[in-house]
Amino acid sequence: MVSKIISFSILTLIVSIVLINYFSRVKPNHPLADLNVQEIIQEYNYPVEVHNVVTEDGYILTLHRIPHGRGNLSRKRKPILLLHGLLQSAWDFVHLGPNQSLAFVLSEEGYDVWLGSVRGTTWSRNHTNLDPDKDAAFWNYTIHELGVYDLPAFVDYVLEKTEQKSIHYLGYSQGTIAFFIMGSEKTDYLSKIKFMAAFSPAFFLKDPISPIVKFLANNWRSLQGLLNFFNYRELFGRGDLFSSYMKFVCHDENSVLINLCIHTHFSIFGYSYDELNKSMLPLTAANTPCGVSLKQFVHVFQIADSGDFHRYDFGTEGNLEKYGQEQPPHYDVSRVTTPVAIYYSSNDWAVNINNMDRVLKTVPNVVKSYKVPLEDFNHLDFLYAKHVGDLLFNVLLDDLSKY
């Protein structure tokens, strides 16, 4: 039995190496595909600053700042912090360019825009003591650490640099999870956020519509065991098999493979043909997905499986050792008194709309509940849809102006 497992492991490794080598030969066919976050902001003629932020537990994170728009140099600008979704980074707020990417839209509306990239992503793979390529300890974190270390570090840094007492905050998907963890665990930070915008709030994930997400939620224990066996710590990094595959099938909008690219996205996030911008798929694939820890990834599907919002589940014995109880502690969202606006959609296959009633009943200070008025609007459309400006961003800008 052991020899068969070893043989299977070796075969899997060889096949993965061959496929990665094959897929990596094809490069995304887009003129901006080789640019990083700083370079793509500069490409669109916006000012940009790059800041390093060190968390309490030693992770060195990157904050990208767009201090003002291309034509508006006013010094009295309102700081806003944006935090991305799972497998994303600051890149996803800028790569679609002016009039389409949220960071640029906010900048032109008079905001001082700060874009965080959480630990383990392409732009935040540094630590004061640990090497992500050599030290497994670098990847020993869950979503909990994003909420109690990464987001508070970003908030404090922005407040210090802008000399403000509070800021606006927008979280998308995982970015909403980090906020509600911070708000329930570190309530002193609630006064530092004057208004929170939640795009597709993802802390209640019961019954995802996507068959892929549902499968992972129902089988996270097996997934975790398998990946632990192969000694995985990081998933979906820029050079791994899945990332290379996505670059391969999405490399050219005119390729015969583009339908594989489209249906891979849709099978996870929901079908939305009319809002899909095919020309941007090669550029998106160049930098997304951009890395996640195994425990962080599993934590998401634990939450989806249980239907509750709780800390990482180490199993009965592990929970007793870690938390002093058999079940992982729940996050008390009722402690989050910050004014919160909820933005959601009908066709979100990752965050089932049926969870929204529970979200609205649990969050104590919901000042706005907005369902995007397009039945096909999916999970990725919150940032990528062709008409996201008219459908969502204009509503957001109006809500922000009230705070």
Would you name the residues annotated as active-site residues? 173, 348, 379
Q: 182 forms bridges with which residues in the sheet? A: none
Cα gap 53→60, rounded to integer Å: 6
Spatial CB neighbours of 141, under 8 Å, sequence gap ≥ 6: 119, 120, 293, 295, 296
Question: Which residue is listed with tokens 């066996």?
Answer: 229
197 close to 170: Cβ distance less than 8 angstroms: yes
Task: Tell me the residue type at 120.
Answer: G
User: Strand pairing of 193-199 and 167-172?
Assistant: parallel
Cα gap 388→96, rounded to integer Å: 12
Cα gap 344→360, rounded to integer Å: 11
238 close to 291: Cβ distance less than 8 angstroms: yes
- Indicate the helix (H) or strand (E) that contains 150: none
Cα gap 27→14, rounded to integer Å: 22
Q: What is the 3-state secondary structure (H, E, C) of 263-283?
A: HHHHHHHCCCCCCCCHHHHHH
Counting every residue written for the chain, the total comes to 403
Cα gap 161→124, rounded to integer Å: 20
Q: Exposure of 309 by Cβ count < 10 A (0-12 exposed, 13-18 middle, 19+ buried)?
A: buried
Give the count of alpha carbons within 13 A of 361, CB side only.
6
